[in-house]
Amino acid sequence: MKRRKFIKHLGTGSITAGAALSVPPAVHAKEQVRWKMVTAWPKNFPGLGTNANMLAKTINEMSGGRIKVKVYGAKELVPAFEVFDAVSRGTAEMGHAGAYYWKGKSEAVQFFSSVPFGLTAQEMNAWLYYGGGMDLWRELYDPFGLVPAATGNSGVQMAGWFNREINTVDDLKGLKMRIPGLGGEVLQRAGGTPVTIPGGELFTALQSGTIDATEWVGPYNDLAFGFYKVAKYYYYPGWHEPGTTMECMINKKAFNELPKDLQAIVLTACKAANLDLLAEFTARNNQALEALVNKHNVQLRALPDPVLKKLHDLSNEVVLELADKEPMAKKIYESFSQFRKQVIDWEKVSEQAYLRARTL
């Protein structure tokens, strides 16, 4: 009703420049800002790619079209692993990826995606927004001319698809498994052989026996890849990525040129998208797991406790060594590990205790 009245009012005369200058910034924004968002995912990739689309759409809608963000899949504008550099130098204004891809820039980035035996999604968000994590992330990305934001979380990932039974710690010896990053380092210390294979080649590698096992994401994404056709066992829990945060990085110069309201729109859209992706994965993993177990007769297996303990010990070593690689990694590790210690105590009386109680 108010809008109609205003439009009617507009019909009676003109707005002078002097009058227009006294109203808030939003009113001035006749120009459209056109931004590019490069992503590390194939265009429309379920979950990760669609989260990027949704983020762009939310920004477009909230800004009434004053910022139009166009999303590019990996390789459309730049390859997946050049997203960081592209946004840093301003080729694109936004990037959607996972921070651990950039460990070549700084080892410390890994704390902002996921580390083995680290934080769950809910704990990550608590650390980022109320435990000092976001400040550290901004400090880390600032020299690269980037403003970071958390924009999604996969939740606890699965341990992966195996063609070898894991009954003891010794069964990890010689295990040829696709598992990148810190998880791979942990496997190596347990006597396994971590290998790097692109997602598109995993199915064949498992089928031919080139690898014994692979981790991927969780039931929703894994079902689509059809791993159940070529692997015997689906192991849980995923100890190596317990709550992987997706990131949206924004070119700092482009961000600073926005009026305050559009800056708030961009950051709030990321926060809403952060919640949304976790909700999507949680709901869809549900359904996919049911299909895997009931329709495709997947053999779900738990990693035995001694194996999990061994992997936990080795993970502590690996993460501690990560902290010693750079001063920023040390600084972030201290905040992260202090938070982790406290939150584990809290979980023992909250989520962990409740989830157990519900299945007694």
Residues 289-308 that bind its own copies (CB under 8 A): 289-290, 293, 300, 302-303, 305, 308
Residue (210 or 337) nearer to its own copies, CB: 337
Residues 6 or more apart in contact with residue 164 via CB below 8 angstroms: 171, 175, 212, 213
Phi then psi for residue 8, to 5 deg, are -60, -45
Q: Crossing angle of helices 121-130/327-349, nearest 10°?
A: 120
Looking at 135, 142, 229, 283, which residue binds its own copies (CB under 8 A)?
283
Residue (102 or 239) nearer to its own copies, CB: 239
Looking at 191, 309, 320, 321, which residue binds its own copies (CB under 8 A)?
309
Q: Which one of the spans 57-65, 139-147, 176-184, 191-199 is the region binding its own copies (CB under 8 A)?
A: 57-65
Total residues interacting with its own copies, rule: CB under 8 A:
106
Phi then psi for residue 240, to 5 deg, are -85, -25
Q: Is 260 in the site for its own copies (CB under 8 A)?
A: yes
Cα dihedral 164→170→173→175 (10° resolution):
10
Cα dihedral 55→56→62→65 (10° resolution):
180
Query: Do 228 and 118 form a contact (C-beta atoms < 8 A)?
Result: no
Binding mask of the shown chain, residues 126 to 165, with x at each position contacting its own copies by CB under 8 A: xxxxxx-----------------------xx-x-------
Residue (22 or 196) nearer to its own copies, CB: 22
Q: Is 276 in the site for its own copies (CB under 8 A)?
A: yes
Q: Is 355 in the site for its own copies (CB under 8 A)?
A: yes
Binding mask of the shown chain, residues 205 to 244, with x at each position contacting its own copies by CB under 8 A: -------------xx----------------xxxx--x--
Q: Which residue is it, tokens 């809290």?
A: 346
Q: Is 168 in the site for its own copies (CB under 8 A)?
A: no
**Tally of CB atoms within 10 A around 191:** 13
